[in-house]
Amino acid sequence: MKTEKSDAGYEKKTHVYQARNCDPCSLKGSCHKAKGNRTIQVNHRLNQLRNKAREMLTSEEGIKHRSQRPVDVEAAFGNLKQNKGFKRFLLRGHEKIEVETGLLSLAINLKKMNAIKVA
């Protein structure tokens, strides 16, 4: 087992498997191109998380959420671009863009709240 630490500080445990003798195998050329025996690395935790995410996305509730996303999110961006004339950020820098995005989101939410109260 090989343990690596990412730049963000997360530990990644990878199991390394190596074949004992690939030389007599007739499929060696189509299986791998290394000079020695074939080696594969498997992160079992990552595979578990991927399977869990796939199950959640393909479940009945996951499909419902995914089908609702275009209705919720795309309409807000379309409204910003078309009706409000927002084409590009006015400020530069990651932090300033986060502030500008927050202000835009706040404006959208206030408009929604106002529409609910009026109706």
DSSP string, 63-91: HHHHHHHIIIIIHHHHIIIIIS---S-SS
Exposed, middle or buried by CB within 10 Å (0-12, 13-18, 19+), for 7? Answer: exposed
pTM: 0.56
**Residues 6+ away with beta carbon under 8 Å from 42:** 14, 15, 17
Same domain, yes or no: 7 and 37: yes
User: 81 in a domain, yes or no?
Assistant: yes
Instruction: Tell me which range, 14-28, 29-43, 45-59, 80-94, is most confidently predicted by mean pLDDT.
Output: 45-59
Residue 78 belongs to domain spanning: 67-118
User: 8 in a domain, yes or no?
Assistant: yes
Task: List, for residues 62-119, the tens digit of each pLDDT value.
Answer: 999 989 888 777 788 888 888 888 889 999 999 999 999 999 889 888 988 888 877 6
Give CA separation, 57 vs 28, 64, 65, in Å. Answer: 37, 9, 9
User: 55 in a domain, yes or no?
Assistant: no
Length of the chain (residues): 119
What integer is the mean pLDDT of 39-46? 93
State the pLDDT at residue 46.
93
User: 58 in a domain, yes or no?
Assistant: no
